[in-house]
Amino acid sequence: MEKSSLTRFAWISIGASVLTIILKTIAYFLTDSVGLLSDAIESLVNLAGGIMALTMLKIAARPADTEHAYGHNKAEYFASGVEGTLILVAAASIGYTAYGRLFDPKPLEQIGRGLVVSAAASAINLATALLLVRVGRKRNSITLEANGNHLMTDVWTSAGVIGAVGAVAATGWTRLDPIVAFIVAANIVWTGCKIVRRSVAGLMDASLPPADIESVTKVFARHEADGIQFHALRTRQAGMRKFVSVDVLVPGAWSVQQGHDLVEKIEAEIRAVVSESSVFTHLEPLEDPLSWADEKLDRSTDGPSNKK
């Protein structure tokens, strides 16, 4: 699946958001429930997030160029970051609306019809969320995964709201409606913070997940048995693209061809175990002290490499 084909899933998210906004708004007008209103507001954020995801996925799909030699994959982190921020704004809006209704509760109307409409909207969100999360994880797209997780939060939110509105109908306790809206807002804040935190980690070039690091070190172990050594392993991820850089130390008596053949083999083995990866190796002689000057991630400015 090409990166550009991921945009069709963003279109699916947008279409689902438009449909659920319509249905949830109808449910709100039928019942006058602030809980259902909070559900509709969150769907507005879903729509904004879907539009942002579509825009950033289009940018991320662009090939590398002279000004962006490592590609445009980091655009996905901006999409998920903006979506996380929008989620927090939605939570504030819901909390504000619920606060007023808490002190001025109103009876709900046509609850049965409203709940049926809201349940239909939730079913649409559930199907879309499961699709986006599955594709996002398979293709290492933080944008689709974040959008899918947001929709899944909306599904759980809707389930809680539907249950609460049903409880209001059964008990007549109208203040339960705004209380549930507050709970919805708190849950949305939690989701939004997680999405923003993950986006920041990506923009800060956090290393690859432990499972990927372990796969890389297993490749090293096979060659270390033959006397080859490695150091200064650096990894990062930009959207679906993963980057691995490492120094490879071989006997100084080797020919250029021998060293070249080895690092080509090592790079191919890493690409085989770490999907969507770009691998960079730096070949150095084992016996040269300068080869060990950059054993750490950052070479010291007063190290032997700067001596004349």
Mean pLDDT of the chain: 80
Give the tens place of pLDDT for each residue, 198-213: 777 666 777 888 999 9
Three-class SS state of 233: strand
> How do 229-238 and 241-250 pair as beta strands?
antiparallel
Eight-state DSSP code of residue 132:
H
| pLDDT score, position 307 | 42
What is the C-alpha to C-alpha distance for residues 67 and 81, in angstroms, rounded to an integer? 23
Backbone angles phi, psi at 102, to 5 degrees: -60, -35
What is the C-alpha to C-alpha distance for residues 285 and 2, in angstroms, rounded to an integer? 39
Percent of the chain that is helix, strand, coil (3-state, to 5): 70, 10, 20
Report which secondary-structure segment, H or E, holds 281: strand 277-285
Give the tens place of pLDDT for each residue, 263-291: 999 999 999 999 888 899 999 999 888 87
Three-class SS state of 300: coil
| pLDDT score, position 52 | 73
Give the tens place of pLDDT for each residue, 207-252: 888 999 999 999 999 999 889 999 989 998 876 678 899 999 999 9
What is the C-alpha to C-alpha distance for residues 50 and 62, in angstroms, rounded to an integer? 19
What is the C-alpha to C-alpha distance for residues 146 and 56, in angstroms, rounded to an integer? 13
Average pLDDT over residues 107-113: 76
Looking at per-residue confidence, does 103 or 115 come out higher?
115
Three-class SS state of 285: strand
Claim: this prediction has a pTM higher than 0.85: no
Domains and CATH numbers, the chain: 3-203 (1.20.1510.10), 210-306 (3.30.70.1350)
| pLDDT score, position 279 | 94
